[in-house]
Structure 1
Amino acid sequence: MVAVDEGEFVLLNDLPVEDELADLLGTSMVAGELANLIYGSRASTPFVLAVDGRWGTGKSTLMKQLSDNLARRPDVETVWFNAWTASGVSALTGMLKLVLGKLDRNVVRRAFRQLRDNEVLGGSLRIGAGVAASFFRLDRALDQLWAQMSVDARAREQARDLLAQSLGAWVDEQTGQPRHTIVVFVDDLDRCGEATAIEICEAIKLYLDLPGIAFVLGCDLSVLSRISLPGAETGSHVREYLEKIVQVSYQIPVAPEATVATMIQGYAARSGTGHLLTEPLVALIGRQCAGNPRRVKRLLNSFVAEYQLDPRWREFGADGLMKSVLLQHLYPDLYREILRTTGDTVGDLLAYRSARYWLLNHGRQPSDEDVKTGRHHLASYGVLQPSEDDPMEVWERALGQLEGRVPEAWRLLAGNEDCRMLIRDLGPEEERLRLQHRLRRRPLSTTPTPIDTSVADGSRYEGLRLLWIDDSPADNELMINSLAARGAQVRTSTGTRQAMDLLPLFQPNALISDLGRADDEYTGFDGLRALRQAGYAGPALFFTSFVDDGRREGAEAIGAEITASSVRVNEWAEAQAATLS
């Protein structure tokens, strides 16, 4: 553990935790129990244990500690297979090589000789009679076998026979049970390509389903169950297929709040930021990051990098920077709105929240402050203020008018108590204005990693060809990177003319556009009409700063949707990708 001097901040790494003293989630205890289970079940091999969990929840840490625990036990060998580096039949070849590499060379040589003498090894595999006379010749023969496996199904069967024959030397003649066990760890199975994932599953089931071998798979089973399995017509068919592969799964649970708080405080202490996190902020981070260790680390690392890259934050105060990073990571729509607007955007959101509460709770005696703020906010937006004697439909109409004149994202944020707590913690108007002006002059230079909102939920966008039109494409860089990380192809254009040139070359099947450019706040509508006339007939979404009834009606008139929420952009893209699968 690195000691951090007061005022010194350091980055946190993203490696699996191996040291039990550095284990902030109690993973080592679970690893020990799983190791006992696997070790006690050696006579039941072959079997597959899945460590099931979403991105960043600690699967790799658990598997690493489980591997280290098993490696210390007698008659157990462990081996790791990197699914990301495998593709096609190389997955099978690589796994067979790793397993054979854990066996005694004399055992493999004798098995090779016996199979050759029994004419099991032959056909396309041409091996001289003296091949087993030396390890050198054995290596050459194995290399020849691996090379032929990619093109010759017979060679793959021969490799399985060789492995089975070699493992047979471990079997106790009296009990019929293996005396040794190889535990193969395969991490990130859900993060590799579908073809590779299927190849690994086939290797486990068809070629390595042998006594003496156990597998531990690290994956998100909910993601893996959505792969395009040849011959599978429904998701239930894929799940049935996986049930044939996996005998038991351990799902990483959501840690208790107290454990999550300890983890966050521990990471903050290691990064030197512990003194900046109050108990309410720790609780907020824990809820918003869902106890995900990787997300917590990335949030703290963003703060550390920003503090080091921009010395002016030291003059402003680390506390203000931490709250800005929290806004950017946890409430990106609000952060974006702050940068886009002037004045007290945060205060406007708080006022809208009060006005909305007042309108929704008509007749329930809201506080005088809510009534005062609500009336003031309605007046500022030109919404007719209902009187106490007006019927309910008048109040509902006023609420509809108000919500049509504020950023769409505010409707979600207004009911979020965690968001309210964070922005109220920005201080009184003068203090929060100072922070907002600071962000507008110099926005944060670090951004949340796209994987936080993409691969984390497992959805994939292969086949989606998205044309994104915006005269300031840099404003959408984070969302574009997020979509690309999920497999979408994205091309950007700064205007309609450039988009027209891209249309026949890129052939998009989805389109996102801004609405206002320069002095024309509706030019996006004209641009989409022109693209429709040029042949684009696919779905379209306008992503703009705010949505009112007029803008919504204008978008619907030309067969498009409109939103001011980056969350909705991702939902829309996911829906379009789903229609292609």
Structure 2
Amino acid sequence: MTASLPSGLWSDDPATVDLLSFDAVAQTVADALLDDSLDPVALGLSGSWGSGKTTVLGLVAQELDRRGTSEQKVLVIQTDPWRYDPSTGAKESLIAEVLDALAGEVDRSATKTDKAKGLVARLSKRVDWAKAIKLAAKSSLTLQIPDFDALVELVKPKEEDKQSVRGLDDFKDEFEELLASEDLKHIRAVVVLVDDLDRCLPETVVQTLEAMRLFLAVPKMSFVIAADEERVADAIRTRFKATGRPDESDEERQDPATLYLHKIVQTTIPLPALSHFDTQAYLLLLQMQTAAKPDQLTTLIERCAQIRRQGRGIDDIGQVDGLAMDDQLAFAARLTPLLYEKLRGNPRYIKRFLNDLRVRQSVAARRGIDLDPAVVAKLMTLEALMKTEFQLLLGWFAKGEMRDHLERLEDEAGRPALASAPSVNEQGDADSVDTPPQPRRAGSTRRAKTATSGQFSQAMVRWAKLAPPLRGLDLSPYLTLAASFAGVTLIDDSLPERLRDIAANLLSDSRREQRSVTDPELNELGDGDATDLLRHIGRTMRDQPTKQKAGVNAVLRLARLQAGLATAARDALLMLPPSEVTMATPVQFTASDSAPIRSVLTTWKGKLPDGPVKRAIDSVLTDRGTA
């Protein structure tokens, strides 16, 4: 029994269930935000793309909500500068979001004093004025608004308003006064959670940071900036260079971008990448999300968290009542080593890999590709994470050498096969049929030879060690599909170009295309070209069993047209593994075929167990006097 993925795909949205014990990070962040000695404070939450920053912000919001009360509320404002309207400016957009949230709290306050309402109105006018100036400046450059004064009218004070509040001058003082007002006495802290800042253009990054430092950094205000710190610093570097700021600092010649960022962000909490155990547990939990009931999943998550704290392994997870997860555990154990290394402990990359795998399995199944899900997973690992090695596999496949190479690769990886029948090499030499089947032991002569061959990279050998083994499987439909997805043309470049169209037509499933290659055309082939063509057809039949009928027909056709090709044709036919000879193949032989060709049937018969195919071969040999 092998593991299969659940139906459907995993959402790329931030997780609502904490599968990775990120609550430890969220609680640490919440402690700092509510520490009165750090008021006001700006914290960084740094991690690469897909590391779970947005998920942690959601956990921080939940934790702050849990710690607040109606008398001491923690007002959480979640914002995403990446989505700001660039025409109005990031600075003004962030300030407006904060003011809107505070205006709602003022309206809901018990006192509802005119002072607080007046402060909100004045501060909002300052923001509107700043937006208007910015929009007017940009519009004048593009000649969209010819009349600057017309735009200024949008924020012109009413006649009864005696005070003009143009610009953001004195904003910070009035903002601090608002937060200290009686109407907001119930607010213990205002926490702004800033997401996706590392996706923004340099101008937006700097304006957002400036808004925090220059206008909003007053008591009761706190910020959490979830972003890749180095990307934010890169944006600052770009902005500083554009404004003519020096590339070096007088403070021990440190990077000015980093100094600028650290002036605003007091400390940065790095989001840890997934460990080997985390990766394995994450793979397990993602699969169990659809298979487990809510209480079972909660138990499983808690056990994973406990094992993580105790430094134990996934084998210690035990059983959960009513929950079967052996297949999912095997799947996680099989893929963890490569996913942990290649995806660098990134939760989003892991989900994307699983989604890609699920899509490939679904498409393959609907194309009639009947491969075990574990086989597809192993091939997808090579395709998605080891692209150079996958191109090598496609090259073997295109040349009809895949099975030979895979057998040698699995020998080298310590996956030798039990020899159930004598082998036939490419030249058609058969091992003695009198030799009883023997397992290839690790210490055998062949094993020692391949182990030191150096033919395969360490990465390729390591991949071959993954379960399940691929020896003897028909991978051709999957590889053909994968090549089409990758836009790779499968061409045997060892076959002369002048023969490629002939080979493609002879091996086609279409009788019309097969007949398009005429006998005179085949008769005109020289011995060298004909031998190359036969070898290509033989290798193709070996790697692509679905080509067997067309391939056998093509080989027999060439042998009947040119008597001198009998030996080469025999060798080509013997490349077809006897265990894969179908019932339709023996009947393609005739009594008039040459002795070397007829000997193929005898060889196959000697290598096959009793069964319908062997009886069909025996019938053909008997009826045609060749038994």
TM-score, with length taken from structure 2? 0.52
Deviation at 1:182, TM superposition (A): 0.8
Identity in percent = 21
2:74 is aligned to 76
| Aligned mates of 1:114, 1:284 — CA distance in 2 | 58
Larger radius of gyration, structure 1 or 2?
Answer: 2
CA contact (8 A) 1:51 1:252 kept: yes
Please say if 1:212 is aligned against 2:220.
Answer: yes
1:259 is aligned to 278
For structure 1, the 5+ residue unaligned runs are 116-130, 133-137, 357-365, 378-398, 403-409, 448-473, 477-514, 521-581
Alignment equivalent of 1:147, drawn from 122, 132, 141 = 132
Q: What is the SS of the residue equivalent to 1:12? A: coil
Deviation at 1:244, TM superposition (A): 0.6
2:11 is aligned to 13
1:26 is aligned to 21
Deviation per CA, 1:297-331: give whole Å up to 9, x if none: 11111122222233246622222222222122211
1:439 is aligned to 478
1:502 is aligned to none
1:301 is aligned to 355
Alpha carbons of 1:246 and 1:80: their partners in 2 closer, same or farther (altered >3 Å)? same
CA contact (8 A) 2:125 2:166 kept: no
Deviation per CA, 1:233-285: give whole Å up to 9, x if none: 15711111111111011111233422321111111233678377162323332
Q: What is the SS of the residue equivalent to 2:169? A: helix
Alignment equivalent of 2:115, drawn from 88, 110, 115 = 110
Q: What is the SS of the residue equivalent to 1:156? A: coil
1:373 is aligned to 450
CA contact (8 A) 1:182 1:213 kept: yes
Deviation per CA, 1:193-246: give whole Å up to 9, x if none: 122111111211222222211000001112222231311415711111111111
TM-score, with length taken from structure 1? 0.56
2:336 is aligned to 282
1:575 is aligned to none
2:469 is aligned to 427
Q: What is the SS of the residue equivalent to 2:392? A: helix
| Aligned mates of 2:246, 2:117 — CA distance in 1 | 38
1:190 is aligned to 198
Please say if 1:331 is aligned against 2:386.
Answer: yes
| Aligned mates of 1:325, 1:145 — CA distance in 2 | 53
CA contact (8 A) 1:11 1:271 kept: no
2:597 is aligned to none
Q: What does residue range 237-248 of structure 1 map to in structure 2 within 5 Å? A: 237-248=256-267
Q: What is the SS of the residue equivalent to 1:233? A: coil
1:450 is aligned to none
Deviation at 1:89, TM superposition (A): 5.5
* Partner amino acid, structure 1, of 2:132: A
Alpha carbons of 1:284 and 1:258: their partners in 2 closer, same or farther (altered >3 Å)? same
* Partner amino acid, structure 1, of 2:338: L
* Partner amino acid, structure 2, of 1:81: T
CA contact (8 A) 1:35 1:69 kept: yes
Q: What does residue range 511-522 of structure 1 map to in structure 2 within 5 Å? A: none
Deviation at 1:147, TM superposition (A): 2.7
Deviation at 1:430, TM superposition (A): 1.8
Q: What does residue range 524-563 of structure 1 map to in structure 2 within 5 Å? A: none
For structure 2, the 5+ residue unaligned runs are 138-164, 249-253, 292-326, 414-442, 499-627
2:181 is aligned to 169
| Aligned mates of 1:352, 1:421 — CA distance in 2 | 9
1:91 is aligned to 90
* Partner amino acid, structure 2, of 1:439: Y
Alpha carbons of 1:79 and 1:160: their partners in 2 closer, same or farther (altered >3 Å)? same
Deviation at 1:34, TM superposition (A): 2.3
* Partner amino acid, structure 2, of 1:9: S
| Aligned mates of 2:330, 2:224 — CA distance in 1 | 40
Alignment equivalent of 2:268, drawn from 221, 226, 249 = 249
Deviation at 1:334, TM superposition (A): 1.9
CA contact (8 A) 1:305 1:446 kept: no
CA contact (8 A) 1:339 1:440 kept: yes
CA contact (8 A) 2:369 2:477 kept: no
RMSD (Å) for aligned C-alpha atoms? 4.2
Please say if 1:315 is aligned against 2:370.
Answer: yes
Q: What is the SS of the residue equivalent to 1:49? A: strand
Alpha carbons of 1:333 and 1:291: their partners in 2 closer, same or farther (altered >3 Å)? same
* Partner amino acid, structure 2, of 1:328: E
1:229 is aligned to 239
CA contact (8 A) 2:130 2:167 kept: yes
Q: What is the SS of the residue equivalent to 2:478? A: helix
Alpha carbons of 1:170 and 1:329: their partners in 2 closer, same or farther (altered >3 Å)? farther
* Partner amino acid, structure 2, of 1:335: F
Aligned residues: 377
Deviation per CA, 1:346-386: give whole Å up to 9, x if none: 86488589999xxxxxxxxx9854653379x6xxxxxxxxx
Alpha carbons of 1:226 and 1:367: their partners in 2 closer, same or farther (altered >3 Å)? farther
Deviation at 1:12, TM superposition (A): 0.8
| Aligned mates of 2:403, 2:204 — CA distance in 1 | 48
CA contact (8 A) 1:79 1:183 kept: yes
Deviation per CA, 1:172-203: give whole Å up to 9, x if none: 9xxxx996311001111112112211111121
Alignment equivalent of 1:342, drawn from 365, 382, 399 = 399
Please say if 1:269 is aligned against 2:288.
Answer: yes
* Partner amino acid, structure 2, of 1:419: W
Alpha carbons of 1:226 and 1:350: their partners in 2 closer, same or farther (altered >3 Å)? farther
* Partner amino acid, structure 2, of 1:343: G
Alpha carbons of 1:71 and 1:346: their partners in 2 closer, same or farther (altered >3 Å)? farther
